[in-house]
Every structure is written in C-alpha cells, then in structure tokens.
Structure 1
Amino acid sequence: MPLDASSTESLSGSELRTCDVLIIGGGPAGSTAAAILAAKGRSVVLIEKDRHPRFHIGESLLPQNLRVFDTLGIRERVAAIGVYKPGARFVSDEHGKHVTFNFAQGLNQAYTYSYQVKRADLDALLFARARELGAETREGMRVTDVQLDSARGHRILATDAEGEQHAWHARFVIDASGRDTFLAAHMQVKQRNPHNNTAAMFAHFRNVAPFAEAEDGNITIHLFEHGWFWMIPLPGDVMSVGCVSNQGFFKRRTGEIDDFLAATIAATPSMARRMANAERMTPTTMTGNYSYASKTMTGDGWLMAGDAFAFVDPVFSSGVLLAMASAEMGAEAVDTWLDDRAAAVPQMRAFEHKVRRAIGSLSWLIYKINDPTLRDMFMEPRNRFRMREGLVSLLAGDVHSNTNRQLPVIAFKACYYGLKVARWFGYRPGAKGMERISRAA
C-alpha cells in the first residue's frame, strides 16, 4: 500500500539496500525492538532523525521497565545513570496532606523499584545497545517515504543531514517514530482522544527543595485545581518540573511561557515552598494534544510500537514502559512473521490486544485524575480487599499481566463508583465515610 505513489521513481533511483526489518525511530521503542531482533540474528536497520544524546521528556521510569532492561542486559547501566525511585508521592493542598505509594507494597513483588533518568542519557544507552547487538544504526537521517508491499517487500526512502537520499528494501517495517506517528499520519488513521485534551509545560531546575528533609527519589505529583505538576529528581541535583492542564487553562496565558510556569507554581502553595530558591536551567517547553491513538496498529508486514501507535497523559509515567513493552512484544511477533506468516497471525493479534488492554487499564485512572472523587481516594487510600496494593500495581506499570481483572483493582473501581454515587447525593465522605463505602465495595 503506497503512502505516496509519486515517490516511486525517487525510490528506484537510489541505491537499494536490503534488510529483514527497518525501524523508524531510535527512541525507547525503536531501540528495544532493534536490539531484540538483532540479537536473534535478524538484519535490522534503525533510523533516527536526530542525533543522540537529544533532550526528551518522560524521565520517570516504572518497575516493570526493569524486566525489559534485564532482557536487554542493561539494568546496571541504567542504574548508573539514574536516581533510585522507590515509589510515587501525591500532594494535595486542597486536602492538606500527602500520601506515598511505595512500589514494594504492590501485588507484583518481582520488581519493586525503578529509576528517574535524563532521557537523553537513557535513549543514547538504548540506541547504543541496539548497535552492540548487531543492528545497523543511522542517526541524523529522516525517513521521508514508505511504500508498503508485503508481497514484494517494502521500500523505504530516507534523507540524511547532507540531503543525500538512501533507500532500503525491507521485509518488515516497524514504526517507532513516537509522536511523529509516521505511518498513522500518512494513513490518516490517527485520532485525538476527546476524553483527555491536555497540554503541558516543563523545564529543568536547580536548587529545588526536597519534599522532606532530604531527597528520597520519589516522583512527586502536586495536584492543583486545574491539573497537576510533576517533580522528578534527576542526577546532578536537577529537578524536572512540569505542569499538565487542559487547553482552557493554557489559553489564560498572556505573556511568555517561562513567566506563566512561574506564576502557576507561585499560585500552588506546596509547589511555591519547594521552588522558592529554584533556578531554571532550560527554557520552558510547551506541548499539546497529549492523548491520541491510531485506528489500526498492525498490518501485513508492518506494525506500530510505542507512541507511534498511541500516547496517554503522562501522570502515571507510563510512556517509556508502554513503548518498550510494546516493542518487546512486537519484536517477538515480527521474528515469528519472518519465518512463518501464518503462525504469526495469532501472535500479532495477541500483541495488539495486550497493548490496547494495557493502555485501557491505565487510561481508567488517567482520565479521572482531576475527578474530585478519585482525588479523595488517592489522599485517603484504603487496603480493604487489597485495594491499595492493586492501585500500587497499576502505578508500577503492571498492566500486561491483566492486573485490571484482579480483585484488588475491581474493588478499587467499585469503591470509586460508590463514592461517586454518594457525591451525586451531596455527600462527600471523609476517612470514616470512605471506610464505610469501601466495606460495601
């Protein structure tokens, strides 16, 4: 299926190289898929439009990332560039309190911690690992056209920084282009998520006060009336600070984005206390239209992995995990496809089902983060029916094991809807009221 039939002539005019798999995008998803497939002996070409290291947001990893790092043989390397992360803290000025969810208190005891990392360092490490394992890696090269044809082989055209064109003939194409959504955009199958039309502004700072007496490595989520802030401790005493809210809130901005971020921080007491002596190290960056998904994820000889398929709000730090886990599953399916297309059909189907289910499990929480009922539950966590443990498992990224169907998660959701009904009748329970409803859940 040609994406741009007019480019056929330019493709045939370039020297045509061959490979088993060509991967668009050298971020966590692309590098993970490339490393796994190259380790299996496949000829893999990994093309990245930028050059590593390059700045990227998404710096807070989840415990389930460790499993993929183990698969790639790089857990110790990640530890060397990261800050130990035992859990996540939620702070609410409205409730006048905070609560910490330690990953060690979750249902899955195999992985009980993670790391906070500078994405420039992590992405460079993953890209280098793919090259170590045998992938042909290209940086500073942008894919400009793909002609999908599984019968005769896909043809891919790319242009390097000097303007020279390069062409490949690949048996399989993996789109790991991130928010560029190369295939979804060209196929016109990308859909914005109407339930979560948010935007974010963020920067790196020095001299940020720890939440308590000393920095403990937790990511801290500060809730405020219009959204939430993240505070992620990074190596070198750097703090990543970001604010996520709806489009209406950002339309209030009249001046520079740096000033708007500073004013929003100053208006949130728990943030203002920590940021009183902070020094901004980077310009403030803003990005919008956070949530989207493609109508389709796989086809004959191609698939999308990570953000190239879908992205959800970053409140629970799920982006890198979903990218790497989907790339890992996708790579296994591709390896089967290269040997036996018929045998790969159920594997491809299972791959797409698991990725969609994982996104759905997290989305249930994400779309409700600004809901007063869910905020009440976060600030008054109960563990009847092991609800708190189930919540911690979701926060830890344990979504591919179908945690969504486990009793603790079901009980948590039942409690939420019970409290929601109570609010409809004008009742906002405190700790005792929540305990009564959780008993009935």
Structure 2
Amino acid sequence: METSQECDVLVVGGGPAGSTIATLLARQGRRVVLLEKEHHPRFHIGESLLPGNVELFDKLGVRDQVEKIGMPKFGIEFVPPDLDYRSYVDFSEGWDPTKDSAWQVRRSELDELLFRHAGNEGALTLEGARVRQVDFDAEGATVQAVLDDGGTRSWRARFVVDASGRDTLLATKFKCKNKNPDHNSTALFGHFRNARRLEGRREGNISICWFEHGWFWFIPLADGTTSVGAVCWAYYLKARDKPLKDYFLDTIAMCPELHDRLANATLVDDAVHATGNFSYASTHATGERYLMVGDAFTFIDPMFSSGVFLAMQSAFDGAALVATALDRPAELAAARQALEKRMRVGPRDYSWFIYRVTNPTIRDMFMHPNNVFKAKQGLMSLLAADIHHGRAYRRSLWMFKVLYYFISVVNWRRTYAGWKRRRDNIRDWGPLKGETILKAD
C-alpha cells in the first residue's frame, strides 16, 4: 500500500485564491502542497481586475510581472440601452484616490504567473492532480488525488485549504452549498480581434452595456483582443433556436453601440462559449482543519469584476487563520468567528448592487452619478474594491442606499414593474442548450 506523503497544509486548486494562500503559507516556512487539476496555462474567463488587487500583488511581489501582461484600466463606462449619453467614472473618485487603476489580463497568463510564483516561494506544486477524496480526523486529513496517467497519490495534511473554485470540493462534501434564490443568470462570451475601443486613457476601461435581456461586458486586453460577453436572464439562453455563434451575434445586435464597435471585428478561433452563472454561498467557510476560499466558498455575478479580488483577499485573510490553527489552536474559535464575518462583507456589498442593477433606479444613478452625501465616493470605493476603508466608506455606501430607496418610492410604479420583471426572470429554467459549466480553480 502506498504511504501518504506528509505536509502541513494541502491546497486544492491552483487559481488566484489557491496560489496566493500557498505562497503566503510557504513564506511562513510551512510544508505546503498545491494541487491543480489541469495544466497551466488553462482557459478561464474573468479578465478584469480591480484597484484593490494592486496592493495584494505588491504584497506577493508580483506587481511588475502583472503589469507586463496587463492592459491599464482606470475606470468604467456605462452604456444605457435607450440613450446616446455615456457615463464615465474613475476609480480615483473613491475614498482612496491612490486606488486609481488596475489591469485587464488574460486569466490564463495571470493564473499561471501566480501558480509558478507559489512554487518559487517554496510550495510544492503539482498539476494534473484531481482531488477525489478528503477524509478528516482529529489530527488532520488524508487527501487522495488521481493523476493524468490514472495513478493515485495520497497526502497526510495537518490542514486543508479548498480553493477548488466552482467545483466546491468541501462544500459539496459537507452539503453546505446553497444556491442563491435571488439570482439566476447565464452568460455567452467570446474574444474578438479588431474591436473599436475607447480612445486615449480610457482605452483599457471596461464597458458595461445594458440591453433588453441583461448586460454586456467589453474588456480590452493587452494583446489587441477584446473579451465580450452577455450576461442574460436564464430564459433568454433557454430559448436559443440556432447555433450558439449565430445566437451570440444576434444578441450583440440588440445593443447598437456594441454592435458598432464590433462591426469590423472577427471572433478568435470562431469560438463562443455558454455557461451557467448561478450564484451560491456556503453556510460556513471554516472548520477545525479546513478552510474554503474564493469561489469554493461563494460565487456572485461577475458584473463588477470582483471575483479575483475576493478570492485573493480571502486567501490573505485565510493564511492568518491557518497559522492560528497550526500554532495557536486555543485561539482558533475566535479567529474562525472573525473570519466568517469578514469573508461575507465583500459578497454582501457587491450583491446588493448586482441584484438591483437591472432596476431603472440603479441604472439612472449609475448614468448620472451624484456625490450628494458622498454617495458617489462610496460607490467608487466599492467598484475599486476598497471595501475595508472604514466608517467613511460605510457611511457613504449607506447614503447611496438611502437615496436609492427614496427615488424608488417616489417612482413607485416604475420600481414595482422592475421588481416584478426580476421576480419572473429569476425562475429556474432548468438545463440550458449548449451549456458548458466553466469550473475554475
């Protein structure tokens, strides 16, 4: 019988969350094993980063490397479906003006960069290793993985970090993953060459374009390609009656501004993808011998590009918890309670806006941002991922919500119509035609 190799921490998943926490724990002098089921570089959607990521890249020591592969991004463009007017907001308008920029990146390049960095920092990294079983006991856990050649490997770990993304390894094992009943969307996306971009300093900014059935992202990348995707209500993709590419191009035609920008563009590899984008959250993120980080804990709609930031921030916070569990177990209960609370802050703040983003009131407030009661500063701090700024941020975000509810009450007929439409659209429409679930580590 094969003997298990020993380690202090075994991390499942070599995406941003897993690679980040593996790096931090290896720096502490711990024996860390990082397992990735695929081989880098591997495709992943979600190319837009936030200014909050920059500080984390600095702490990891990879900022210069990320900058070399990234397209500078200073803000966001909002494009309504029925107006010629465009709204432009800059991250520098938040509470911390130094959090003024980030990058658009190819995730295949970013994820490999972070994974290799973890190895350089001392973690033992292994690709092509799919974890099949995790068994916990009083002393730690036994983890078994299947390799590409069909062979198996086993590790004995004092602590396990689940960074398996939408595979949700431990949440599935413990049956603690709950689908969010208030959100149900799908996505169609592809990459284009020769798309017309914004000019000057705004060239790398992300554009959010609303249309009848949802919203589009338009993300320029440094290699000249542009990522374009439509996040739609599930009923829309369920009704598809033609090949996926044709349906996607017809969907783009519903947004005149986006259609114009892509008039002379061509699809890279003629490829279009479809994915279910169902939000979920686990009932808990921590245990005596384990931790779930990033999408392994919770997944929310990608509208504000918060995914990589939330994953990496949870890894930074989680690394401190792991150290407590291994070195000061008497303090673990309090540390777990504090981390459980902290890990819900970001998803909660972003979700409040995401679930209302198709409401006419929110759309109007985004199109005509006003800094009454510092509400715009609160919004821009959120969009820049400066979500732990403190009381000033909390106050201004609260005032934004007060203004939203006031305007909604004044325009109650419009508010009710928007609410009713949303309740109808979030019904579970069942499996989607041509759907590919992109499970990211």
TM-score (norm 1): 0.91
Determine helix, strand or coil for the equivalent of 1:41: coil
Distance in 1, Cα, partners of 2:391 & 2:227: 30
Answering whether residue 147 of structure 2 is matched by residue 144 of structure 1, we say no
Which residue, out of 200, 225, 239, partners 1:238? 225
Match for 1:21: what amino acid?
Answer: V
Q: 2:255 aligns with which of 268, 285, 301?
A: 268
Distance 2:415 2:156 in 1: 64
Equivalences for 1:2-401 in 2 at 5 Å?
Answer: 13-149=1-137, 151-212=138-199, 216-282=203-269, 283-401=271-389
CA distance in 1, matches of 2:158, 2:87: 50
Q: Distance in 2 between matches of 1:76 and 1:34?
A: 20
Partner deviation per Cα, 1:16-49 (whole Å, 9 max, x = no partner): 1000000000000000000000011011000000
Partner Cα separation in structure 2 for residue 99 and residue 404 of structure 1? 25
- Of all paired residues, the percent bearing the same amino acid is 46
Cα separation, partners in 2 of 1:29 and 1:427, compared to 1, 3 Å: closer
In structure 1, distance between residues paired with 2:264 and 2:200 = 16
Residues 72 and 102 in structure 2, CA contact (< 8 A), matched pair in contact too? yes
- The CA deviation at 1:389 is 1.2
**What secondary structure sits across from 2:86 in the alignment?**
strand
Residue pair 1:220, 1:230 contacting (<8 A) in 2 also: yes
Deviation at 1:378, TM superposition (A): 0.7
Tell me how far apart the structure 2 counterparts of residues 403 and 193 of structure 1 sit (CA, whole Å): 29
- Distance change in 2, residues 1:426/1:16 (3 Å): closer
Deviates more, 1:405-414 or 1:271-280: 405-414
Runs of 5+ in structure 2 lacking a partner? Answer: 417-441
Deviations 1:289-308 (A, max 9, x none): 43111112111110100000
* Matching residue's letter, 1:65: N
Cα 1:214–1:67 change in 2 (3 A) is: closer
Q: For 2:347 and 2:50, how far apart are their aligned partners in 1? A: 15
Instruction: Note the C-alpha offset of 1:174.
Output: 0.4
Bigger shift: 54-63 or 108-117? 108-117
Deviations 1:306-333 (A, max 9, x none): 0000010000000000000001100111
How many residues were matched structurally? 415
Q: CA deviation at 1:170?
A: 0.3
Q: CA deviation at 1:93?
A: 2.6
Separation in 2 of the partners of 1:122 and 1:27? 9
Q: Which moved more, 1:70-79 or 1:187-196?
A: 187-196
**Equivalent position of 1:4 in the other structure:** none
Matching residue's letter, 1:107: W
Q: Name the aligned partner's letter for residue 206 of structure 1.
A: R
In structure 2, the residue corresponding to 1:147 is in which secondary structure?
Answer: strand
Equivalent residue letter for 1:358? G
The one-letter amino acid of 2:330's match is A
Per-residue deviation, residues 218-270 of structure 1 (Å, max 9, x unmatched): 00111112110001011111100000011111112111111111000012111
Give SS of 1:108's match. Answer: coil
Give CA-to-partner distance per residue, 1:171-223, whole Å, 9 cap, x none.
Answer: 00000000110111122211111111111111111010113478621001111
Shift of residue 126, structure 1, vs aligned partner: 0.3
Q: Could you tell me how far apart the structure 2 residues matched to 1:132 and 1:326 are?
A: 21
Larger RCO: Structure 1 or Structure 2 (Cα < 8 Å, ≥ 6 residues apart)?
Answer: 2
Structure 1 runs not aligned, ≥5 long: 1-12, 429-441
Could you say if the C-alpha distance between residues 227 and 201 of structure 1 is closer, same or farther in structure 2, counting changes exceeding 3 Å? same
- The structural deviation recorded for 1:109 is 2.7
Distance 1:257 1:331 in 2: 42
Structure 1 runs (4+) greater than 3 angstroms displaced: 211-215, 400-405, 425-428
How far is the alpha carbon of 1:407 from its aligned partner?
2.2
Matches of 2:133 and 2:14 in 1, distance apart? 17
1-structure distance, mates of 2:153, 2:379: 48
The alpha-carbon deviation at position 15 of structure 1 amounts to 2.2
Q: Quick one: distance in 1 between partners of 2:414 and 2:184?
A: 28
2:431 — aligned with what?
A: none
- Mapped to 1, the partners of 2:163 and 2:358 lie a distance apart of 30
Q: Residues of 2 paired with 1:65 and 1:422: CA distance?
A: 38
